[in-house]
A = this chain, B = another copy of it.
Amino acid sequence: MQPTEHSQLETLKQQLIVINDISSAGSLLYWDMTTQMPPGGQAARGRQLAVLGQIAHDRFVDPAIGRLLDELQPYAETLPYDHNDAALWRVTRRNYDREVKVPSAFVAEFFQFFSVIYDVWTRARPANDFNAVRDLLKKNLDYSRQYAEFFGPFDHIADPLIDQGDYGMKAASVRAIFAELRAQLVPIVAAITAQPPADDSMVRRHYPEADQLAFGLDIIKDYGYDFSRGRQDLTAHPYMTRINSGDVRITTRVDEHYFNDALFSTLHEAGHAMYEQGIDATFDGLPLATGTSAGVHESQSRTWENIIGRSREFWTHYYPALQARFPSQLSDVSADSFHRAVNKVTPSLIRVDADEVTYNLHVMIRFDIELALLEGAMEIDDLPRVWNERYTSDLGVTPPDDKDGCLQDVHWFGGIIGGAFQGYTLGNLMSAQFYDSALKAHPEIPAEIGQGKFDTLHGWLKENIYQHGSKFTAPELVERVTGTGVQVAPYIAYLRRKYGELYDLS
């Protein structure tokens, strides 16, 4: 590296870190809004988030950043592809070329708008009041289409939105994967639902909040979530947020009459957080310091929630501790029955509570609706009806109201419509592929899980996935780790293996 290049690179890094400091201040304000803030703070908080969002955007699209990227291009091109500086240049260039297309005034306006629609939605959902959000949803659809148009030309209007969450994917490629998955999933669901349902009455007994939280914390400490660089709080909608490499927070919620809610959301968010905590600390503040795609992120949350946290080995180890903590609730329940209960498969109304087998059918409904809305093939006014029809036809259950129907997910009420849902299912597929690769390298992993040991798995994931942050795109990472692209078969094989033990799938 020449002295000039060295100083240009340092300047670029410093500016990127400042921009990240501003946008992660916004992340902290959002975290505070959803976990700590007194109700009186709402109005000003939306304005604050908008201001910080706009400042971060404006600083990033500053032509000076573009010039630095231009000047550094020759240097970046001399480097091997997986050199950190090459990756930094590549990812920053990609983000810059994308963000520079979005006018600053639009950014400020939609940040402000999101805090309004989110606030209205938080009241409209419990009140089952679709009308309260109808006009705001129409406005959001306008914004979302306008936003997508900034990135034209495209084959499908959702393509730029999908690409932002899951780089390299398009509406057509996701549709193809989903069609293949649906074809294989539907017979499994049918085979399972033809059999008597698992008894999960014991997870609906009374589990006091403090004990539920303590039990979850013990497990994610074992997993390797580092509390010196994180914390857990309560929210309406569990999520993970990275402030910086030393501060990666998770949230959960507790239903004292439904054990699964707190524990599995804790394991899920811990999976997201361990990914972020595992990113190379020298990337901190740079565009490399984030999980590489929505799908890869979700693969990790689902690994720790489902592949590990709902496995037989896991419950073999943890059930005695659970029983000791909740003796009156579980003294009459065997580990086997409990394992079966937390893996109960049943078509249901709420995505986040859905079992592993039916979960992806929930995602496909949302994905199809998003595309139809963006295409103009469907109107916001049709949303409640279309939603309920799809639940009836795809899952055989009909939402009794919008609260547990089309108002249930935060996504369309706190961000762009489009590009948010496909990552959940892509993540499920990748989770099985990555885990297969981990098992190939370390066949001892399941036995270790049975002893409450996660070092080997966690170490392998850090080495092969986490440390890289966004250095490699999702398709590159999947290829490096598994030797193939995203595939449906390993996930179906995983489901068949696991649920074949619990149900007759012949």
**A contact residues vs B (CB 8 Å cutoff):** 17-18, 21-22, 24-26, 28-29, 32, 36-45, 47-48, 51-52, 55, 226-231, 243-247, 249, 284-285
Judging by beta carbons under 8 Å apart, are A47 and B21 in contact?
A: yes
Chain B residues with CB below 8 A from A44, complex form: 21, 24, 243-247, 284-285
Chain B residues with CB below 8 A from A243, complex form: 41, 44
29 contacts between A and B (CB under 8 A): A17-B47, A21-B48, A21-B51, A22-B51, A22-B55, A25-B29, A28-B28, A28-B29, A28-B32, A36-B36, A38-B230, A38-B246, A38-B249, A39-B228, A39-B229, A39-B246, A40-B226, A40-B230, A40-B246, A41-B243, A41-B244, A41-B247, A42-B246, A43-B246, A44-B243, A44-B244, A44-B284, A45-B247, A55-B55
Chain B residues with CB below 8 A from A226, complex form: 40
Chain B residues with CB below 8 A from A38, complex form: 227-231, 246-247, 249
Chain B residues with CB below 8 A from A42, complex form: 246
Among B26, B48, B246, B285, which residue has its beta carbon within 8 angstroms of that of A24?
Answer: B48
Measured CB to CB, the closest approach of chain B to A184, in angstroms, equals 43
Measured CB to CB, the closest approach of chain B to A202, in angstroms, equals 32
Judging by beta carbons under 8 Å apart, are A22 and B244 in contact?
A: no
Q: Can you list the 3 inter-chain pairs with the closest CB atoms, starting with the nearest?
A: A40-B246, A41-B247, A40-B229
CA distance A407 to B289 in the complex (A): 38
Residue of B nearest to A51 (CB): B21
CA distance A233 to B29 in the complex (A): 17
Chain B residues with CB below 8 A from A47, complex form: 17, 21
Judging by beta carbons under 8 Å apart, are B36 and A48 in contact?
A: no
Chain B residues with CB below 8 A from A37, complex form: 247
CA distance A155 to B13 in the complex (A): 45
Q: Given A18-B51, A40-B229, A41-B229, output 17 extra A-B contacts at Cβ < 8 Å.
A: A17-B47, A21-B52, A22-B48, A22-B51, A22-B52, A25-B25, A25-B51, A38-B228, A38-B230, A38-B247, A41-B243, A41-B244, A41-B246, A41-B247, A42-B246, A44-B284, A55-B55
Measured CB to CB, the closest approach of chain B to A431, in angstroms, equals 27
Residue of B nearest to A229 (CB): B40
Chain B residues with CB below 8 A from A17, complex form: 47
Measured CB to CB, the closest approach of chain B to A51, in angstroms, equals 5
Chain B residues with CB below 8 A from A231, complex form: 36, 38
Chain B residues with CB below 8 A from A21, complex form: 44, 47-48, 51-52
Measured CB to CB, the closest approach of chain B to A282, in angstroms, equals 13
Chain B residues with CB below 8 A from A39, complex form: 228-229, 246
Chain B residues with CB below 8 A from A29, complex form: 25, 28
Chain B residues with CB below 8 A from A249, complex form: 38
Measured CB to CB, the closest approach of chain B to A261, in angstroms, equals 23
Measured CB to CB, the closest approach of chain B to A4, in angstroms, equals 24
Residue of B nearest to A243 (CB): B41
Chain B residues with CB below 8 A from A45, complex form: 247
Residue of B nearest to A31 (CB): B32
CA distance A243 to B45 in the complex (A): 9
Chain B residues with CB below 8 A from A229, complex form: 38-41
User: Which among A21, A25, A227, A285 has the greatest number of chain B C-beta atoms within 10 A?
Assistant: A25
Chain B residues with CB below 8 A from A246, complex form: 38-44
